[in-house]
């Protein structure tokens, strides 16, 4: 089976599962995991196909959440338009930041992206009049389409997985396009990609900006679903969570990333006694994956070559 086909089947399974799940806690938990999947899909493109690391992706999620929420609360702007504007701003900011940053390599790039995430986190903490500081931002309205409001866990569950389906489709199209093949070439042999006329730096900036767009959409939807956001939801530990989910799932596997994100996103809520130790668990998973599953969970499966 082709990976793209398996991915769509997997998402369809999650979608149909919502018909049978009655427990609001489970619906809420898996819906939040679906939003995290969107961020990880963007990170998957950046890590797995362009070979660029980002330790500050929670910062872009925060930008999507805070900008869209502030626009909606302060100006009364429609939430959907607020999310669109916030995502556009985040993408432009990521391109502006990424242009000089992505000239760095290795641990220098990792440290630079970590700093970006921490700067955004500190701004969220200290711009109290806008963000509410560590006390958080409240009064965020619910999403609605006409008279239909996403005011229950079940309604948002179906919506969140429909959005995952859309972004998975976009990711698959990118991967199997000329652009995706160029990114893969950059990852595997940057010098060779340059010799074939690939504008390596421009491609890196473009994919970095696209992954930030994914993160901003995720953040905006999260804010309007929960109705409350605070800086603690967008810390460095959250960025590391995203890295672990992408790496353990397989940095070039959308299928593996989705499964791993749902599992790792749900476990801390199920095993509440592990929440304080979750960074240690994440570290252990990353070590095990690096030693025994270098291509992650998705890499353990022999996929047929995608042709679409």
Give yes or no for residue 303 having a pLDDT over 70. Answer: no
Q: Residue 302's pLDDT is what?
A: 62
Q: 148 to each of 63, 144, 151, 155, how far by Cα in Å?
A: 27, 5, 9, 10
Give yes or no for residue 289 having a pLDDT over 50. Answer: yes
Q: Residue 283's pLDDT is what?
A: 82
Q: Residue 26's pLDDT is what?
A: 93
Q: Residue 273's pLDDT is what?
A: 67
Q: Residue 169's pLDDT is what?
A: 95
Q: Residue 211's pLDDT is what?
A: 96
pLDDT over 90 percentage in the chain: 60
Highest mean pLDDT among 191-205, 218-232, 249-263: 218-232
- Beta-strand ranges (E) seen in the chain are 144-145, 148-149
Give yes or no for residue 286 having a pLDDT over 90. Answer: no
CA angle 83, 84, 90 (to 5 degrees): 85
Spacing of C-alpha 92 from chain mean position: 17
Give yes or no for residue 274 having a pLDDT over 50. Answer: yes
DSSP symbols for 51-97? ----S-HHHHHHHHHHHHHHHHHHH---HHHHHHHHHHHHHHHHHHH
269 vs 240, residue with greater confidence: 240
CB 254 within 8 A of CB 48: no
Give yes or no for residue 308 having a pLDDT over 60. Answer: no
Side-chain-side CA neighbours of residue 65 (13 Å): 31
Of 29, 39, 30, which Cα lies nearest the Cα of 62? Answer: 39
The pLDDT-based confidence of 306 (bands split at 50, 70, 90) is low
Burial annotation 167-201 (CB, 10 A radius, 16+ → b, else e): bbeebbeebeeebbebbbbbbeebeebeeeebebe
Q: 241 to each of 58, 233, 245, how far by Cα in Å?
A: 9, 11, 6
Question: What's the mean per-residue pLDDT of the chain?
Answer: 89
Go through the domains of the chain in sequence order and give each one's CATH number. 3-299 (1.10.3470)
149: three-class secondary structure by DSSP: strand
Give yes or no for residue 307 having a pLDDT over 50. Answer: no
- The Cα–Cα gap between 131 and 85 comes to 17
Q: Residue 304's pLDDT is what?
A: 64
The pLDDT-based confidence of 58 (bands split at 50, 70, 90) is very high
Give yes or no for residue 33 having a pLDDT over 50. Answer: yes
- Beta-strand ranges (E) seen in 89-239 are 144-145, 148-149
Q: Residue 305's pLDDT is what?
A: 59
């Amino acid at each position: 089976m082709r990976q793209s086909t398996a991915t769509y089947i997997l998402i369809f399974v999650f979608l149909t599962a919502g018909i049978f799940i009655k427990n609001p806690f489970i619906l809420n938990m898996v819906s939040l995991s679906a939003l995290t999947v969107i961020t990880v899909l963007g990170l998957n493109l950046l890590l797995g196909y362009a070979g660029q690391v980002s330790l500050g992706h929670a910062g872009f999620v925060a930008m999507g959440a805070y900008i869209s929420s502030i626009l909606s609360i302060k100006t009364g702007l429609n939430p959907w338009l607020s999310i669109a504007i916030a995502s556009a701003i985040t993408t432009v900011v990521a391109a502006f930041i990424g242009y000089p940053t992505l000239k760095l390599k290795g641990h220098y790039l990792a440290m630079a992206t970590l700093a970006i995430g921490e700067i955004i986190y500190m701004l969220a903490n200290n711009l109290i009049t806008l963000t509410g500081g560590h006390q958080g931002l409240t009064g965020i309205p619910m999403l609605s389409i006409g008279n239909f409001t996403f005011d229950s866990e079940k309604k948002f569950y179906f919506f969140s997985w429909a959005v995952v389906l859309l972004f998975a489709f976009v990711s698959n199209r990118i991967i199997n396009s000329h652009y995706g093949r160029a990114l893969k070439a950059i990852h595997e042999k940057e010098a060779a990609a340059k010799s074939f006329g690939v504008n390596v730096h421009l491609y890196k900036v473009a994919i970095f900006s696209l992954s930030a767009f994914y993160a901003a959409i995720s953040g905006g939807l999260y804010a309007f679903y929960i109705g409350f956001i605070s800086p603690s939801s967008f810390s460095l530990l959250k960025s590391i969570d995203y890295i672990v989910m992408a790496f353990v799932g397989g940095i070039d596997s959308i299928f593996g990333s989705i499964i791993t994100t749902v599992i790792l996103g749900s476990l801390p809520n199920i095993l509440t006694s592990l929440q304080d130790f979750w960074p240690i668990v994440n570290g252990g998973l990353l070590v095990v994956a690096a030693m025994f599953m270098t291509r992650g969970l998705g890499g353990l499966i022999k996929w047929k070559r995608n042709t679409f």
